[in-house]
Amino acid sequence: MRRPLLLASSLGLALSASPVIASAAPPGSDVVAPAPAPPTDVRDEVPVMGYAQNAFGASRMTAGASGYVGVLHGQPNPDGAAGAGKTLPQGGAHMWGSPVDRLTLQLDVDRRDFSAPTPSATVAVRILGSRAAGWAIGAAATYRAEGFANVVGEVEGSVLASFSRYRLHADLNGVFGAAIKEPEMDSEVKLRLGYDVTSWMRIGADSRFRMRVGNGKFLAGGRTVDGVGGPEVVFGYSHFFAAITGGPSTVGVARGFGWSATTTVGGVVF
């Protein structure tokens, strides 16, 4: 009789302990948890930092704004005295937002050369790729007024390509623009490179090269090609970012080379 009683008591203890064992297991352990969303880097939420535009665009239901100040030194007047130079302040403001995935809307006011401040509006669409994939291809259309006093301006179309993996970042744009009422046409290539040295600092370069392809006016000094670019350092923390860019320039320069330097500060809501 003792052996059956011992077996029965052992079975009872095992059954009474089984709920405890079951309750010790993490709830929902048989359900695969969704992968966490990748962290958001404010530096990647800025469609245009300087010259080149990224093809990823802004994330859905985000918005941002930035402003920049700087100087451009050169000789804008071809008839000026030899060696004479001119330094002008540069400045601008950018606002952007994304109401739906793949679509980015931008409003800009720029003064990056010796002309008047130029307002513009851009619609950019990401066609292929994503941030998760690490690459993207997109397109953009821009209307650019020739200063606030002129309603008629220039229309630009852009093809955008971006890469962002292994701390490396690259943006390449091909742009074609044409004036609405004048026989002026030009094409541009914009290239931006960067490497994340730390989680809050990226170093690289940003540049723009322009070529007259129509029968319209020449660029300063009778040039058909000009360019601007140089090293760039980008800082990011939480929802805020800042960038410093500078380097040689032939934009608006009649002879030889000038130089430019700008500082950009902004923030993103996401």
Assess if residue 10 is contained within a domain: no
Cβ–Cβ < 8 Å for 161, 55? yes
pLDDT-derived band of residue 31, with 50, 70 and 90 as boundaries?
Answer: low
Lowest-pLDDT choice from 14-28, 70-84, 246-260:
14-28
Q: Which domain holds residue 97?
A: 42-269
Assess if residue 261 is contained within a domain: yes
- Among 270, 251, 255, which Cα is nearest to 111's? 251
Domain count, the chain: 1
The 10s digit of each residue's pLDDT in 211-223 is 887 666 677 667 7
- State the pairing for strand pair 240-249/258-269: antiparallel
Residue 97's contacts (CB-CB under 8 Å, 6 or more residues apart) are 58, 62, 63, 64, 104, 105
Structure-model confidence comparison of residues 28 and 95, the more confident one: 95
Q: What is the pLDDT averaged over residues 217-240?
A: 87
Lowest-pLDDT choice from 107-116, 128-137, 224-233, 258-267:
107-116
- Confidence at residue 270, expressed as pLDDT on a 0 to 100 scale: 85
pLDDT-derived band of residue 72, with 50, 70 and 90 as boundaries?
Answer: confident
Residue 91, exposed/middle/buried by CB under 10 A (0-12, 13-18, 19+)?
middle
- Confidence at residue 168, expressed as pLDDT on a 0 to 100 scale: 97
pLDDT-derived band of residue 82, with 50, 70 and 90 as boundaries?
Answer: very low
Alpha-carbon distance of 159 to 96, in angstroms, equals 19
Is the pLDDT reported for residue 25 higher than 50? no
178, two tokens: 């044409």
End-to-end CA distance of the chain: 73
Compute the C-alpha angle 161/163/168, nearest 5°: 145
Assess if residue 79 is contained within a domain: yes
Assess if residue 256 is contained within a domain: yes
Assess if residue 35 is contained within a domain: no
Residue 210: CATH number of its domain? 2.40.230.20
pLDDT-derived band of residue 32, with 50, 70 and 90 as boundaries?
Answer: low
- Confidence at residue 47, expressed as pLDDT on a 0 to 100 scale: 95
Share of the chain above pLDDT 70, in %: 76
- State the pairing for strand pair 135-145/153-165: antiparallel
- Confidence at residue 59, expressed as pLDDT on a 0 to 100 scale: 93
**3-class SS of residue 148:** coil
Assess if residue 73 is contained within a domain: yes
Alpha-carbon distance of 121 to 87, in angstroms, equals 28
Alpha-carbon distance of 217 to 182, in angstroms, equals 9
Assess if residue 250 is contained within a domain: yes
C-alpha distance from residue 26 to each of 19, 20, 29, 30, 36 (Å): 13, 12, 5, 9, 19
- Confidence at residue 151, expressed as pLDDT on a 0 to 100 scale: 66
Cβ–Cβ < 8 Å for 259, 86? no
Instruction: Look over the chain and give the mean of its residue pLDDT values, rounded to a whole number.
Output: 82
pLDDT-derived band of residue 2, with 50, 70 and 90 as boundaries?
Answer: very low
The 10s digit of each residue's pLDDT in 136-195 is 999 999 998 877 766 678 899 999 999 999 999 999 999 998 888 777 788 999 999 999
Indicate left, alpha or beta for 166 from its phi (over 0: left) and psi (-120 to 50: alpha).
left
- Confidence at residue 216, expressed as pLDDT on a 0 to 100 scale: 60
| Rounded CA Rg of the chain | 28
